[in-house]
Chains A and B, each alone.
Chain A
Amino acid sequence: MIRFENVSKTYEGQTKAALLNVNIEIEKGEFVFLVGTSGSGKSTFLRLVLREHRTSKGHIMVAGKDLNRLASWRIPQMRRQIGTVFQDFRLLPNKTVAENVAFALQVIGKPRSHIRKTVPEVLELVGLEGKQDRLPDELSGGEQQRVAIARAFVNRPMILIADEPTGNLDPATSEGIMKLLDRINRTGTTVVMATHDVSIVNQMRKRVIELENGHVVRDESRGVYGYQH
């Protein structure tokens, strides 16, 4: 589903590479944790998958397509197959929960009937039934993140990318979010999640890829957060 072939990324104006010679293959339906200290390149990894940046060297294949060869006008099409969730939720403050989720479908031109059917379904899936008319301000952090996940998932993407989705949440709320991501993963969606949350990684026992200074230093199929020497 996602393949990094010898990928290096040096940001413009930087001398130090944010990613260096990364080779990774992530299969369809996998759940992958991306761990590493701050600045190790986790967000860079995810941004490259979204084609927010080009690689400096090497190739990234997403769903069989080489992102470097993708014409820029095809990028939006590619992004429709990838859902994205961030630490800061990124909701529109003047839109209700349902409108925030519907927005993702509206702007890619989905018919209204489809939107009316899908949005309540996905809100129920993320556990927000009955809260569809609230504004983001009127929700807890965990609930806001559920809205963001609903928005990321509403178009049934093949891949869900999450950059520290529990970074702003307390442990109990984080656990709920992880259950939700796990549920989404079980529908066949590939999930790649960057995190610093030790207990979550240790609990879930999923594949763990650890980055350090842009290098992959560990890749374990049922790993934990720290080194196990």
Chain B
Amino acid sequence: MRLNYILSDLGIGLKRNLSMTIAVVVTIWVSLALFGSALLANEQVDLMKGNWYDKIQISVFMCTKDSGGRGCSGTEVTQEQKNRIRQVIESNPDTAPDGVFGESKKEAFAQFKKLYKDSPIVSTVTEDQMQESYRVKLRDPQRYQNLVSAVAGLPGVDTVQDLRQYLDPLFEALKGLKIGAYIASGLLLLAALMQISNTIRLAAYARRREIGIMRLVGASNFYIQLPFLLEAILAALIGAILACGTLWLGVYFVVMRRAQETFKVWQWVGASETFRATLIMVVVGIILAVVPTFLTTRKYLKV
């Protein structure tokens, strides 16, 4: 197998189909970028769910000197109040058995430091400023209203946070977004697939004389297919690299620079998830190029 013949073939092929090659590259670029975003959105939703949704349903934050909740009177919550609050929570029928966890100031501070480990804010906050809280698991995550109203307003209770209230709409939106992205990228990938196979069909048609002679003189199928495969793989790789670059930029500007700053409490997809997504994208891109090319040229090689 003479590499220089193959490479010169490749060059001729690319030049001949330049506009079509560009069209293929752009289609692959857009569809893979969207596909990668869908992969990341999926990871993001899982991250959030894993972190918050399933673990803790309701947080009962208790008063500090500075808190201005309904049940606070400008003093730290007392032990007596805490016992009472715990009793109310535990006796509520919606609370899961052994579903109450207390978080001390110390634990809250440790958690805080972990979440904000890269932020200068850590040095300005002291353990004393943290709020003690009860974290309550529910028997049925759907039924939280009753418990929330039972606890809210008790002496020593600052606020009751029901995360579902915030997370549900978000997850719904993200889920919609995710499904939308999958469908759109699926359609685009399909379009890319058909476009590649059409391009190859045209390229093979343009070279039918050569192919006919190659078959006649006994060139191996692989030798005949190789220029087409290389052409398609090259287009797919360029498209995939552009898509990966787009995804990295998106993650950097949207997630790392904006979302992570604004919503520090949540875990966000980062470099490792993006890297994984780009690997999948490159593989999908190459499959996208190789499979239709292989099938289309094979059809040409028969008979």
Q: Which residues of A contact B (CB under 8 A)?
A: 50, 52-53, 73, 76-82, 84, 90, 92, 103-104, 106-109, 112, 151, 155
Contact = CB atoms under 8 A, between A and B. Distances in A.
B217 interface: yes
25 contacts: A50-B216, A52-B303, A53-B303, A73-B221, A76-B215, A76-B218, A76-B219, A77-B218, A77-B220, A78-B218, A79-B215, A80-B218, A82-B218, A90-B212, A90-B213, A90-B216, A92-B209, A103-B213, A106-B5, A107-B5, A107-B214, A107-B217, A107-B224, A108-B217, A108-B219
Q: In the complex, which of the residues B5, B218, B224, B303 has the most CB atoms of chain A within 10 Å of its own CB atom? A: B218
A159 B259 CA distance: 73
B227 to A, nearest CB: 11
A92 B303 contact: no
A120 to B, nearest CB: 19
B168 interface: no
A31 to B, nearest CB: 21
Interface residues of B, number: 18
Contact of A76 (B2, B210, B213, B220): B220
B121 interface: no
Closest 5 CB pairs of A and B: A80-B218, A79-B218, A107-B219, A104-B217, A76-B218
B116 interface: no
Contacts of B209: 90, 92
A151 B210 contact: no
Contacts of A77: 218, 220
Contacts of B210: 92
Nearest to A75: B218
Given A52-B303, A92-B213, A103-B213, A108 B218 contact: yes
Interface in B222-259: 223-224
A80 B217 contact: yes
A109 B218 contact: no
B218 A112 contact: no
A82 B303 CA distance: 17
A155 B214 CA distance: 13
A216 to B, nearest CB: 25
A79 B2 contact: no
Contact of B221 (A76, A90, A104, A108): A76
B91 to A, nearest CB: 77
A227 B200 CA distance: 51
Q: In the complex, which of the residues A50, A84, A108 has the most CB atoms of chain B within 10 Å of its own CB atom? A: A108
Contacts of B218: 76-82, 108, 155
A155 B217 CA distance: 9
